Protein backbone atom coordinates (compact mmCIF):
# COMPACT_ATOMS: atom_id res chain seq x y z
CA UNK A 1 0.00 0.00 0.00
CA UNK A 2 1.41 3.36 -0.98
CA UNK A 3 1.75 6.03 1.65
CA UNK A 4 -0.60 8.99 1.36
CA UNK A 5 0.89 12.41 0.79
CA UNK A 6 0.13 14.77 3.64
CA UNK A 7 0.35 18.55 3.64
CA UNK A 8 0.15 19.74 7.24
CA UNK A 9 -2.99 18.25 8.73
CA UNK A 10 -4.79 17.95 5.40
CA UNK A 11 -5.13 15.12 2.91
CA UNK A 12 -6.57 16.03 -0.44
CA UNK A 13 -9.46 14.00 -1.82
CA UNK A 14 -7.22 13.27 -4.80
CA UNK A 15 -4.62 11.65 -2.53
CA UNK A 16 -7.21 9.58 -0.71
CA UNK A 17 -8.94 8.49 -3.89
CA UNK A 18 -5.65 7.46 -5.47
CA UNK A 19 -4.42 5.47 -2.48
CA UNK A 20 -7.76 3.74 -1.93
CA UNK A 21 -8.09 2.43 -5.50
CA UNK A 22 -6.68 -0.93 -4.39
CA UNK A 23 -9.74 -1.53 -2.22
CA UNK A 24 -12.23 -4.10 -3.58
CA UNK A 25 -15.24 -2.50 -5.25
CA UNK A 26 -18.03 -5.02 -5.55
CA UNK A 27 -21.69 -4.08 -5.79
CA UNK A 28 -22.55 -5.97 -2.62
CA UNK A 29 -26.08 -5.83 -1.22
CA UNK A 30 -25.56 -7.60 2.10
CA UNK A 31 -27.46 -7.46 5.37
CA UNK A 32 -26.33 -7.43 8.98
CA UNK A 33 -27.37 -11.08 9.29
CA UNK A 34 -25.31 -12.45 6.37
CA UNK A 35 -22.41 -9.99 6.50
CA UNK A 36 -18.96 -11.59 6.98
CA UNK A 37 -18.18 -11.04 10.64
CA UNK A 38 -14.95 -10.60 12.53
CA UNK A 39 -13.74 -13.37 14.86
CA UNK A 40 -14.97 -11.31 17.80
CA UNK A 41 -18.51 -11.37 16.41
CA UNK A 42 -18.61 -15.14 16.03
CA UNK A 43 -18.59 -15.56 19.81
CA UNK A 44 -20.15 -12.39 21.16
CA UNK A 45 -18.43 -10.88 24.14
CA UNK A 46 -20.57 -10.29 27.19
CA UNK A 47 -21.13 -6.58 26.50
CA UNK A 48 -22.60 -7.40 23.09
CA UNK A 49 -25.25 -9.82 24.31
CA UNK A 50 -27.61 -7.22 25.77
CA UNK A 51 -27.11 -4.95 22.75
CA UNK A 52 -27.94 -7.87 20.45
CA UNK A 53 -31.07 -8.59 22.48
CA UNK A 54 -32.16 -4.94 22.22
CA UNK A 55 -31.67 -5.17 18.45
CA UNK A 56 -33.96 -8.20 18.26
CA UNK A 57 -36.61 -6.38 20.32
CA UNK A 58 -36.54 -3.47 17.88
CA UNK A 59 -36.53 -5.75 14.85
CA UNK A 60 -39.68 -7.37 16.16
CA UNK A 61 -41.62 -4.20 15.36
CA UNK A 62 -39.64 -3.15 12.27
CA UNK A 63 -41.68 -2.15 9.24
CA UNK A 64 -40.91 -2.76 5.59
CA UNK A 65 -40.01 0.90 5.01
CA UNK A 66 -36.90 0.48 7.14
CA UNK A 67 -35.10 -0.84 4.06
CA UNK A 68 -35.19 2.66 2.63
CA UNK A 69 -32.65 3.82 5.21
CA UNK A 70 -32.78 7.34 3.85
CA UNK A 71 -34.75 10.52 3.48
CA UNK A 72 -37.82 8.70 2.12
CA UNK A 73 -38.17 6.38 5.09
CA UNK A 74 -40.54 7.09 7.98
CA UNK A 75 -38.16 6.92 10.95
CA UNK A 76 -40.49 8.85 13.28
CA UNK A 77 -43.24 6.23 13.34
CA UNK A 78 -40.68 3.43 13.44
CA UNK A 79 -38.95 5.10 16.38
CA UNK A 80 -42.22 5.25 18.32
CA UNK A 81 -42.87 1.54 17.76
CA UNK A 82 -39.37 0.59 18.83
CA UNK A 83 -39.48 2.75 21.96
CA UNK A 84 -42.78 1.15 23.01
CA UNK A 85 -41.28 -2.32 22.55
CA UNK A 86 -38.14 -1.34 24.46
CA UNK A 87 -40.17 0.06 27.37
CA UNK A 88 -42.00 -3.24 27.75
CA UNK A 89 -38.81 -5.29 27.43
CA UNK A 90 -36.85 -3.09 29.87
CA UNK A 91 -39.63 -3.36 32.46
CA UNK A 92 -39.77 -7.14 32.15
CA UNK A 93 -35.99 -7.54 32.47
CA UNK A 94 -35.48 -4.91 35.16
CA UNK A 95 -33.24 -2.75 32.98
CA UNK A 96 -34.12 0.65 34.42
CA UNK A 97 -30.97 2.03 36.07
CA UNK A 98 -32.07 5.28 37.71
CA UNK A 99 -29.64 4.69 40.59
CA UNK A 100 -26.71 4.66 38.17
CA UNK A 101 -27.40 8.15 36.86
CA UNK A 102 -26.69 11.26 38.98
CA UNK A 103 -29.69 13.36 39.97
CA UNK A 104 -28.33 16.16 37.82
CA UNK A 105 -26.32 15.62 34.66
CA UNK A 106 -24.72 18.71 33.17
CA UNK A 107 -25.52 19.45 29.56
CA UNK A 108 -22.39 18.37 27.70
CA UNK A 109 -23.51 20.44 24.69
CA UNK A 110 -23.15 17.48 22.36
CA UNK A 111 -25.53 16.39 19.63
CA UNK A 112 -26.24 12.86 20.77
CA UNK A 113 -25.50 12.28 24.45
CA UNK A 114 -25.35 13.63 27.95
CA UNK A 115 -22.07 12.45 29.49
CA UNK A 116 -21.28 11.56 33.09
CA UNK A 117 -18.77 9.59 35.14
CA UNK A 118 -19.48 7.09 37.89
CA UNK A 119 -17.14 6.82 40.90
CA UNK A 120 -17.53 3.03 41.04
CA UNK A 121 -16.02 2.62 37.57
CA UNK A 122 -13.50 5.39 36.79
CA UNK A 123 -12.20 3.52 33.73
CA UNK A 124 -15.39 4.16 31.75
CA UNK A 125 -17.37 7.11 30.45
CA UNK A 126 -21.17 6.92 30.63
CA UNK A 127 -23.62 8.36 28.14
CA UNK A 128 -27.36 9.02 28.02
CA UNK A 129 -29.04 9.52 24.66
CA UNK A 130 -30.65 12.93 24.42
CA UNK A 131 -33.57 14.46 22.58
CA UNK A 132 -36.19 12.72 20.49
CA UNK A 133 -33.68 10.81 18.38
CA UNK A 134 -31.39 7.99 19.45
CA UNK A 135 -28.23 9.51 18.12
CA UNK A 136 -28.01 10.52 14.49
CA UNK A 137 -28.07 8.52 11.27
CA UNK A 138 -26.89 9.40 7.75
CA UNK A 139 -29.45 9.72 4.97
CA UNK A 140 -28.92 10.06 1.24
CA UNK A 141 -30.31 12.95 -0.78
CA UNK A 142 -31.16 11.80 -4.30
CA UNK A 143 -32.01 15.37 -5.31
CA UNK A 144 -28.38 16.48 -4.86
CA UNK A 145 -26.73 13.96 -7.24
CA UNK A 146 -25.92 16.80 -9.66
CA UNK A 147 -23.72 18.38 -6.98
CA UNK A 148 -20.33 17.26 -5.64
CA UNK A 149 -20.41 14.10 -3.51
CA UNK A 150 -19.98 16.01 -0.25
CA UNK A 151 -23.56 17.32 -0.69
CA UNK A 152 -25.15 13.90 -1.19
CA UNK A 153 -25.73 13.08 2.47
CA UNK A 154 -27.35 14.60 5.54
CA UNK A 155 -28.05 13.58 9.14
CA UNK A 156 -31.41 12.71 10.65
CA UNK A 157 -32.41 11.48 14.12
CA UNK A 158 -31.76 7.74 14.43
CA UNK A 159 -34.15 5.06 15.63
CA UNK A 160 -33.23 2.85 18.61
CA UNK A 161 -32.55 -0.05 16.23
CA UNK A 162 -30.11 2.04 14.21
CA UNK A 163 -28.43 3.20 17.41
CA UNK A 164 -27.96 -0.30 18.83
CA UNK A 165 -26.78 -1.72 15.51
CA UNK A 166 -24.20 1.04 15.41
CA UNK A 167 -22.87 0.08 18.86
CA UNK A 168 -22.68 -3.60 17.96
CA UNK A 169 -20.99 -3.01 14.60
CA UNK A 170 -18.41 -0.74 16.23
CA UNK A 171 -17.61 -3.46 18.77
CA UNK A 172 -17.42 -6.35 16.31
CA UNK A 173 -16.01 -4.70 13.18
CA UNK A 174 -13.96 -1.67 14.22
CA UNK A 175 -12.68 -2.25 17.77
CA UNK A 176 -12.43 -6.06 17.71
CA UNK A 177 -8.62 -5.95 17.32
CA UNK A 178 -8.12 -4.34 20.74
CA UNK A 179 -6.46 -6.31 23.53
CA UNK A 180 -9.37 -7.50 25.64
CA UNK A 181 -7.17 -7.79 28.71
CA UNK A 182 -6.73 -4.02 28.51
CA UNK A 183 -10.34 -3.37 27.47
CA UNK A 184 -12.56 -6.16 28.84
CA UNK A 185 -15.75 -4.36 27.78
CA UNK A 186 -16.19 -2.04 24.79
CA UNK A 187 -19.51 -0.29 24.02
CA UNK A 188 -21.96 -1.56 26.61
CA UNK A 189 -25.68 -1.08 27.12
CA UNK A 190 -26.10 -0.48 30.85
CA UNK A 191 -29.85 0.08 30.87
CA UNK A 192 -32.51 2.73 30.44
CA UNK A 193 -33.87 5.81 32.19
CA UNK A 194 -36.60 8.34 31.58
CA UNK A 195 -35.15 11.77 30.91
CA UNK A 196 -37.29 14.82 30.17
CA UNK A 197 -40.28 12.53 29.73
CA UNK A 198 -38.61 10.25 27.17
CA UNK A 199 -37.10 6.79 27.33
CA UNK A 200 -33.33 7.04 26.87
CA UNK A 201 -30.53 4.48 26.71
CA UNK A 202 -27.63 4.52 29.17
CA UNK A 203 -24.42 3.21 27.64
CA UNK A 204 -20.75 3.25 28.55
CA UNK A 205 -17.40 2.71 26.89
CA UNK A 206 -13.76 2.59 28.00
CA UNK A 207 -11.77 5.75 28.47
CA UNK A 208 -8.98 5.40 25.92
CA UNK A 209 -5.62 6.87 26.90
CA UNK A 210 -4.16 8.47 23.80
CA UNK A 211 -4.47 11.43 21.47
CA UNK A 212 -6.78 12.28 18.56
CA UNK A 213 -5.66 10.48 15.41
CA UNK A 214 -4.02 12.62 12.75
CA UNK A 215 -5.64 12.63 9.29
CA UNK A 216 -2.75 10.66 7.75
CA UNK A 217 -2.81 7.92 10.39
CA UNK A 218 -6.59 7.73 10.19
CA UNK A 219 -6.53 7.51 6.40
CA UNK A 220 -3.98 4.69 6.43
CA UNK A 221 -6.02 2.77 9.01
CA UNK A 222 -9.23 2.92 6.97
CA UNK A 223 -7.61 2.34 3.57
CA UNK A 224 -5.68 -0.70 4.83
CA UNK A 225 -9.02 -2.21 5.87
CA UNK A 226 -10.61 -1.77 2.46
CA UNK A 227 -12.50 1.48 3.05
CA UNK A 228 -12.89 4.18 0.42
CA UNK A 229 -12.92 7.85 1.30
CA UNK A 230 -16.30 9.46 0.52
CA UNK A 231 -16.08 12.91 2.09
CA UNK A 232 -14.70 14.49 5.24
CA UNK A 233 -15.48 12.22 8.20
CA UNK A 234 -17.07 9.49 6.01
CA UNK A 235 -15.62 6.16 4.79
CA UNK A 236 -17.23 3.26 2.93
CA UNK A 237 -16.19 -0.36 2.30
CA UNK A 238 -17.83 -1.42 -0.98
CA UNK A 239 -17.18 -5.15 -0.54
CA UNK A 240 -19.61 -5.51 2.37
CA UNK A 241 -21.47 -2.18 2.61
CA UNK A 242 -19.93 -1.14 5.93
CA UNK A 243 -19.86 2.66 6.29
CA UNK A 244 -18.35 4.86 8.97
CA UNK A 245 -19.56 8.42 9.42
CA UNK A 246 -18.39 11.10 11.85
CA UNK A 247 -14.82 9.76 11.78
CA UNK A 248 -13.24 13.09 12.63
CA UNK A 249 -10.17 13.54 14.80
CA UNK A 250 -11.83 13.75 18.22
CA UNK A 251 -13.80 10.55 17.58
CA UNK A 252 -10.82 8.39 16.60
CA UNK A 253 -8.13 7.86 19.22
CA UNK A 254 -4.49 6.94 18.59
CA UNK A 255 -3.47 4.86 21.62
CA UNK A 256 0.08 4.24 20.46
CA UNK A 257 -0.08 0.76 18.98
CA UNK A 258 -3.62 0.89 17.64
CA UNK A 259 -6.28 3.24 16.31
CA UNK A 260 -9.64 3.26 18.07
CA UNK A 261 -12.71 4.66 16.24
CA UNK A 262 -14.54 4.89 19.56
CA UNK A 263 -17.30 7.40 18.86
CA UNK A 264 -18.15 7.04 15.18
CA UNK A 265 -21.40 6.14 13.43
CA UNK A 266 -20.90 2.62 12.07
CA UNK A 267 -23.63 1.25 9.84
CA UNK A 268 -24.31 -1.47 7.34
CA UNK A 269 -25.82 0.62 4.56
CA UNK A 270 -28.86 -0.53 2.62
CA UNK A 271 -31.45 0.84 0.22
CA UNK A 272 -30.91 4.32 -1.24
CA UNK A 273 -28.07 5.03 1.20
CA UNK A 274 -26.12 2.01 -0.04
CA UNK A 275 -26.85 2.96 -3.65
CA UNK A 276 -25.63 6.51 -3.02
CA UNK A 277 -22.41 5.31 -1.39
CA UNK A 278 -21.60 3.01 -4.32
CA UNK A 279 -22.47 5.84 -6.73
CA UNK A 280 -20.21 8.18 -4.75
CA UNK A 281 -17.28 5.78 -5.15
CA UNK A 282 -17.98 5.55 -8.89
CA UNK A 283 -18.21 9.34 -9.19
CA UNK A 284 -14.98 9.91 -7.26
CA UNK A 285 -13.15 7.24 -9.26
CA UNK A 286 -14.21 8.88 -12.52
CA UNK A 287 -12.90 12.30 -11.56
CA UNK A 288 -9.35 13.37 -12.18
CA UNK A 289 -9.60 16.41 -9.91
CA UNK A 290 -10.53 16.43 -6.23
CA UNK A 291 -13.76 17.99 -5.12
CA UNK A 292 -12.47 19.23 -1.80
CA UNK A 293 -9.83 18.86 0.85
CA UNK A 294 -10.18 16.48 3.78
CA UNK A 295 -10.02 18.69 6.81
CA UNK A 296 -10.70 18.05 10.46
CA UNK A 297 -11.93 21.28 12.06
CA UNK A 298 -13.38 21.37 15.52
CA UNK A 299 -16.59 19.36 15.50
CA UNK A 300 -19.17 18.90 18.27
CA UNK A 301 -18.51 15.72 20.23
CA UNK A 302 -21.27 13.18 20.66
Give the model confidence (pLDDT) of 244-299 as tens digits.
999 988 899 999 888 999 999 999 999 999 999 999 999 999 885 444 444 444 45
| Crossing angle (nearest 10°) for helices 160-173 and 46-59 | 150
Question: Which residues, other chains included, contact 62 with Cβ-Cβ below 8 Å and sequence gap of 6+?
Answer: 78, 82, 161
Establish if 302 belongs to a structural domain: no
The overall average pLDDT reported for the chain is 82
Query: Does residue 190 lie in a domain region?
Result: yes
Q: What is this structure's pTM?
A: 0.81
Give domain status of residue 177, yes or no: yes
- Residue 179 lies in domain: 11-294
How many domains does the chain divide into? 1
Looking at the domain assignment, is residue 211 inside a domain? Answer: yes
Whether 235 is in a domain gets the answer yes
Is residue 156 domain-resident?
yes
User: For residue 228, what pLDDT is reported?
Assistant: 96
Q: Is residue 4 part of a domain?
A: no
Residue 301 lies in a domain: no
pLDDT, tens digit, 9 for 90 and up, residues 39-62:
444 457 889 999 999 999 999 998
Would you say residue 87 has pLDDT above 80?
A: yes
Lowest-confidence range among 54-58, 159-163, 176-180? 176-180
Model confidence at 100: pLDDT above 90: yes
Amino acid sequence: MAEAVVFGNHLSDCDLQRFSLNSPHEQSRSSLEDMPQSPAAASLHAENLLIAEAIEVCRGVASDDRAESGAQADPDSQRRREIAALEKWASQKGLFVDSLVPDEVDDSRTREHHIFFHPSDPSRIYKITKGSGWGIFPASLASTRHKPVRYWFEDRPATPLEYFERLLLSNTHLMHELNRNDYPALNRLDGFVYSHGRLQAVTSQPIFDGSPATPSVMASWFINRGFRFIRSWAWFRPVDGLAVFDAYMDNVMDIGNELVPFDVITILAKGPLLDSLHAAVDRLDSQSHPEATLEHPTHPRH
